[in-house]
Amino acid sequence: MIVILKKGAQPEAVARLEEILRAKGVTANHIEGATQNIIGLVGDTSRIDVDSLMVQDCVESIRRVQEPYKQANRKFHPDDTAIPVRDCIIGNGSLQVIAGPCSVETEDQIMKTAIACKKAGATMLRGGAFKPRTSPYSFQGLGKEGLDLLIQARKETGLPIVTEIMNGADLDLFADIDVIQVGARNMQNFELLKALGKSDKPVLLKRGLANTMEELLMSAEYIMAGGNQNIILCERGIRTFETWTRNTLDISAVPLLKQKTHLPICIDPSHAAGIASLVEPLSLSAIVAGADALEIEVHCDPKSALSDASQQLTPEKFESVMSNIRKMADFLGRPMGK
Ligand code: PEP
Ligand code: MN
């Protein structure tokens, strides 16, 4: 981190700044230039709050030369992180396909859908039991009963289960869930992230609707700072001025995040597009971009779905999408599943 001092900064103000920096455990190296004086900070600057330095009288501006995320940073952990989830591994070069309904609705619905997903070649099952809905009058999910139905569907199909948590106080209910999803709306629910940091469950962390990639990595850092290193990042579309799609899939997030972090990356084409017919082309582009996993919404009868009806694939359509996903994965030498 570099602190650029104001011209004519008072020595007392500079001394006060140095005192603050010392207290933060970093070493301050002064460099006197012809036109500007600067201080280079050496040490762990990740805990330094830029705003608290900016308000010091002598400070003109501050530049970070290192990213504020440490544990998620590929610089300090060059090898890819691979996360075992029962028989699957996410991030080892294989391609995982997480499929299932937006919401768990009934036993019949989740069982039919889970069996169809398994038959088509999905490697994990998704389904929301606690649903973050824009309207309080919309279906809110089955809660604990939904989790039990997912566990039943796992028994039937053998597929590991992925489902969303909305409240850290519910964490005990997720003891038998394989991957805990943090939805886009909760990406910056820092208390929830801290609670997940104390767990050892894999977390599928979705990018917020209007969050930068750096903010996504800082949210991952919250979980990692608590001791849980098992995080899968998920790009699920961001808000732009475009109205023809529900969100805009930021495909560049895959290669860019891969450069910046060692954590595996998932793409959710369903919430990105909001349109079932776009799921296949977006899935294929995600594989080409290097995604480790896809999360795709599939419903045994999308027309009757209690949430996200327009983006969920029928089992038949999912089967044909999977056949092209397999072709693309084969072409790129990416094994499916293990
Ligand atoms: C979901 O996966 O069902 C969901 C609500 O996704 P997102 O948080 O990305 O909107
Ligand atoms: Mn959904």
Indicate which ligand has the atom closest to the C-alpha of 267: 1
Q: Which ligand is nearest to the CA of 133?
A: 1
Cβ(170)–Cβ(146) below 8 Å: no
Find the 166 Cα to ligand 2 centroid distance in Å: 14
Domains defined for the chain, CATH in brackets: 2-63 (3.30.70.1140), 83-331 (3.20.20.70)
Q: Which ligand is nearest to the CA of 127?
A: 1
User: What DSSP string runs through 138-169?
Assistant: S----THHHHHHHHHHHHHH---EEEEE--GG
Tell me how far the alpha carbon of residue 84 lies from the centroid of ligand 1, in angstroms. 23
Ion ligand 2: residue ranges with CB closer than 5 A: 102, 308
Number of Cβ within 10 Å of residue 61's Cβ equals: 13
State how far the Cα of 51 lies from the Cα of 132, in Å rounded to an integer: 33
Model pTM score: 0.93
Stated as kind and residue range, the H or E segment containing 259 is helix 253-260
Ligand 1 mean position, distance from CA 288 (Å): 23
Q: What share of the chain is helix, strand, coil (3-state, %, to 5)?
A: 40, 20, 40
Reference 294, options 303, 283, 302; nearest CA is: 283
Helix (H) or strand (E) holding 272: helix 269-273
At 34 the pLDDT is 84
- Give nearest CA residue, ligand 1 atom 3: 102
How do residues 4-51 score in pLDDT, each as one tens digit? 999 999 999 999 999 999 998 999 998 988 888 999 998 888 888 889
Distance 60 CA to ligand 1 centre (A): 42
Residue 276: which residues within 8 A CB-CB, separation 6 or more?
A: 270, 302, 310, 311, 312, 313, 317
Share of the chain above pLDDT 90, in %: 90
